[in-house]
Amino acid sequence: MGKLFGTDGVRGLANERLTAPLAMKLGAAAAHVLTEIEASGQRRPTAVVGRDPRASGEMLTAALAAGMASQGVDVLDVGVLPTPAVAFLTDDFGADMGVMISASHNPMPDNGIKFFAAGGHKLDDTVEDAIEATMLNLTPQGPTGAAIGRIIDESHDALERYLHHLRLAVPTPLDGLKVVVDCANGAASEAAPLAYSSAGAEVTAIHNRPNAYNINDGVGSTHIDVIQKAVVEHGADIGLAHDGDADRCLAVDSEGNVVDGDQIMAILAIAMKEDGELKKNTLVATVMSNLGLKLAMREQGITMRETKVGDRYVLADLNAGDFSLGGEQSGHIVIPEHGTTGDGTLTGLSIMARMATTGRSLSELASVMRVLPQTLINVPVPDKSKIISDARVQGALEAAEQELGETGRVLLRPSGTEELFRVMVEAADPATARRIAGKLAAVVAEV
């Protein structure tokens, strides 16, 4: 079968790698690992299940729910909601586990399954391994009669519960701010515009009409040029772009300049430090964050810790060190006091709250950090596992690091969700970063 779980759950082409039978087995196995199933039936475990609007989500929801119900778990179906909403509702409903069916920023034909433990927390590697092992040893016989789980529609008030949570998390009035939000025709299409407008902002929503097939289709946070143009056209103060499941957020200032996850973290870290909310004066980021973020934090007296790529690794470090802010350059921002995973809508509200309280533009706030030129090349490869140990790649890496010295850095890593190998180079000037990254990518492509 091979390893199922990647950087962020199980992901693949729907109905090819990620099939309904596989989803059913995953649901059944996860029910055993993540819940306390009692043979007596006196305690009925529960699971919250949500999805983004892509077409295959309906099929996979049905299969996954059937697998969990077959093991005696009641399934609370909350419908189409952002990933952070499902994580929140897992805790809010007091459920034993939660599941989000989404491939995030991936194109529509893909889909994915992300599991949450009780409290809405992402799983660590050992728990994911236990689910895979349980799949191999499942017996076909489950409970019968009244012990079979129920599948219950809980979509009627799920969104309002999440919006109420956001209002409590960021109560700052946003009156007078004009925002354009690109919903990627995804899970945020209803939630994000409502959250921003209820806080007082004047909202223009684009790409907020999902039809099951248009999610991430040339829009959203992976196609930032779209909202860059829209912000200027609408004369907005800020643009916010979400991905398909709305666990990330990238911003655009009033002149159409991109404010990425690193700059957003710098803005929020400084705000939280000023308010006495940045625990241990520490920010948690990943190895992909720009060197400029570390330099800016050093100037502000803020320590920056680095983790592996993936918001669950950021979360693990946040929880282990009891820190209060972390995230990724891609726009996954985690504020543990208000959420157990990256929350794009919460991030958008937090940025605008900082603008409202300081009276400063997003451009002014982002200027605290100088972004060093960075080039990232995604190289399609047949086998990611062979790249880093290849002698040719190692030789090219050593040569690049020698040339850059202390003026930049190189990072080579496999994608956790796609058959890609990522080549990232930072340098003092864009031409050097592009040249060195191009040379390294060419070597990787030959392996």
d(CA 96, CA 100): 14
Binding site for Mg(2+): what residues are annotated? 104, 243, 245, 247
Exposure class string for 164-196: b at 16+ Cβ within 10 A, else e = ebbeebbeeebeebbbbbbbbbbbbbbbbbbbb
Binding residues, by number, are 104, 243, 245, 247
**Which residue matches tokens 């005696």?**
72
Residue 383: count of CB within 10 angstroms of its CB = 10
Alpha helices in 70-190 (DSSP H): 83-92, 125-136, 158-169
Residue 158 corresponds to which amino acid? A
Query: What is the DSSP code (8-state) at residue 53?
Result: S
Residue 197 to residue 215: CA distance in whole angstroms: 23
For residue 434, what are its two tokens?
Answer: 């592009």
Which segments of 253-322 does DSSP mark as H helices, in order? 261-274, 291-299, 311-321
**What is the spatial distance between Cα 184 and Cα 225, in angstroms, rounded to a whole number?**
13
Q: Buried b vs exposed e over 258-271: b needs ≥16 C-beta within 10 Å?
A: bbbbbbbbbbbbbb
Q: What is the DSSP letter of 428?
A: S
Residue whose entry in the numeric block shows the structure tokens 């990627």:
184
Cα 335 to Cα 36: distance, rounded to the nearest angstrom: 29
Active site residue 197: no
Q: How many CB atoms lie within 10 A of CB 303?
A: 14
Retrieve residue 304's tokens: 């920056």
Helices and strands: H and E segment counts in the chain: 14, 19
- Asked if residues 250 and 259 have their Cβ atoms less than 8 Å apart, the reply is yes
Is residue 334 within 8 A of residue 279, CB to CB? The reply is no
Among the listed residues 160, 61, 156, the one whose alpha carbon sits nearest the alpha carbon of residue 102 = 61
Q: Which amino acid is at 392?
A: R
Query: Choosing from 104, 189, 330, 350, which is the catalytic residue?
Result: 104
Catalytic residue ranges:
104
